[in-house]
Structure 1
């Protein structure tokens, strides 16, 4: 049973990262950025935390996951700022070096904000309000980033892509593996880490450069509302309906949010085109 759970963690995480990378290359970074807010890595982590430690443990973790999304937003914002600064102000910094420095700084930002959140131990309503406020603030700060498409002439390198997908699996295994030791507080906060998005950003950064990464980051806050809904559902449904049904209903609610968001953005785009004409 342990071996089956372990293998399933790896496979689910890998396919999530590969799927996002495919969307970025064949659709657009904008769509990939929005879908990065879909409960992929977080859902994987919370599900396996519940499977291995019980539904109530996962439900309690989801409350801290809810506040932890503000740390996730801080991570992507620092990623944008540091990568932009290295592009514009530092000479002779290679793309791999840029990605390495940027990744380290963004992880530090996530852990710093996570420490503050762990200290305050916010309840579910304050956690929700904090994350909604963070979405509004960071969405405003990132609004001026220009959308950029992935060049059709290049393709993601298979081995590099697979290695970074495995990195996402390693993050999931690490979080779920130590969940019992660190308790629901830190388990929940670490579950808010952009498990599939972060390796995905590095993939795109190393393959195409920072501009495409910035497009993904710009649209990430808008998709994050999906994760808020998912975490709220998990916090309420896991302890009452169980792991299986709770996960299904949480995904249904998150999917409905994304559909409504897509319809809203399409309508706003049409209105913008009408005014331009």
Structure 2
């Protein structure tokens, strides 16, 4: 038990600190895309399989996919709230997003969920929020905060609390509820708090704008988990699932680069005339 606690804590610290440093030194856009990569949910589903059994984790992965609609709603509500609250912006935005997440999860648990719905609903929501976020500008962080041990500790503290709490859910609820809760943005939420507190809501909005892009990799990851965990176990199954999620990001990056290049070429041709 102590070993599992230590592993969860170390992974939580590494993920949140790594993404926050990526946002500062590369861009919030890149951090936003990668925050949708299977990190928090991957940890949660892995420990579901380790502490309960692979079949439990596989069933939870189906509900994890449908729960991603709540996770996407979480970031959208945080975005809307942060635009309108003047005082206590971070606190009220966080409370609004959390309440919105649990409201969506409660509605989802009333629905008779099947695999087709678990795939199509989060995909539809991802495209919806891509459209709603289209006018948000991608900005980078100019003057970076000076890091010290205290700052790093605070960043790690949020992630460790959230991840350890969510991975304890299977002890109290069934796989459907556990799967829905496993979609909680355990890595993204602390990252949002860090960037918002350290910099500005505009930087958080850049982060949020790009979350739906990365969320597709999490949909693919959870779908793969639901198939391969019962067949190959949690260790090989996790590697295979990360492989499919990574393949999506590589293909997306390649296609996005090709599209941007075509736009630049087209723009140059128009100016030449």
TM-score range, shorter chain: over 0.9
* Residues 160, 203 of structure 1: 8 Å contact kept: no
1:10/1:166 contact within 8 Å kept? no
CA contact (8 A) 1:28 1:150 kept: yes
User: 1:199-223, CA deviations, whole angstroms, 9 ceiling, x for partnerless residues?
Assistant: 0000000001100100010010011
Spell out, residue by residue over 1:162-215, the C-alpha distance to the aligned partner (whole angstroms, 9 max, x if none): 223222122221122231321111111111111101000000000011001000
Match of 1:224 in 2: 215
Specify the alignment match of 2:19 in structure 1. Answer: 20
Which residue matches 2:82?
83
Shift in Å, 1:150? 0.8
What's the TM-score once normalised by structure 1's chain length? 0.94
RMSD: 1.2
Residue of structure 2 in register with 1:64 after alignment? 63
* Counterpart in the other structure of 1:273: 264
Alignment gaps of 5+ in structure 2: 269-273
Taking structure 2 as the reference length, the TM-score comes to 0.95
Residue 154 (structure 1) aligns with: 145
> Aligned residue for 1:189?
180
Cα deviation per residue 1:214-239 (whole Å; 9 max; x = unaligned)? 00100100110000000001111111
Q: Is the 8 A contact 1:156 1:207 kept in 2?
A: no
- Equivalent residue for 1:118, pick from 96, 109, 113: 109
Aligned pair partner of 1:243 in 227, 231, 234: 234
Once the 2 structures are TM-superposed, how far is the Cα of residue 80 of structure 1 from its aligned partner? Answer: 0.7
In the alignment, the residues of structure 1 paired with residue 4 and residue 170 of structure 2 have an alpha-carbon distance, to the nearest angstrom, of 15
The alpha-carbon distance between structure 1 residues 223 and 26, as it changes in their structure 2 partners (threshold 3 A), is same
Aligned residue pairs: how many?
A: 268
Partner of 1:40: 39
What do the CA deviations read for 1:60-83 (whole angstroms, capped 9, x no partner)?
100100000010010000111110
- The answer to whether structure 1 residue 134 and structure 2 residue 125 are counterparts is yes
* SS at 1:120 equivalent: coil
**Helix, strand or coil at the partner of 2:167:** helix
d(CA) in 2 for partners of 1:157, 1:190: 33
CA contact (8 A) 1:32 1:216 kept: yes
Mapped to 1, the partners of 2:112 and 2:143 lie a distance apart of: 46
- Quote how far apart the aligned CAs of 1:274 are: 2.0
Cα gap change, 1:239/1:173 in structure 2, threshold over 3 Å: closer, same or farther?
same
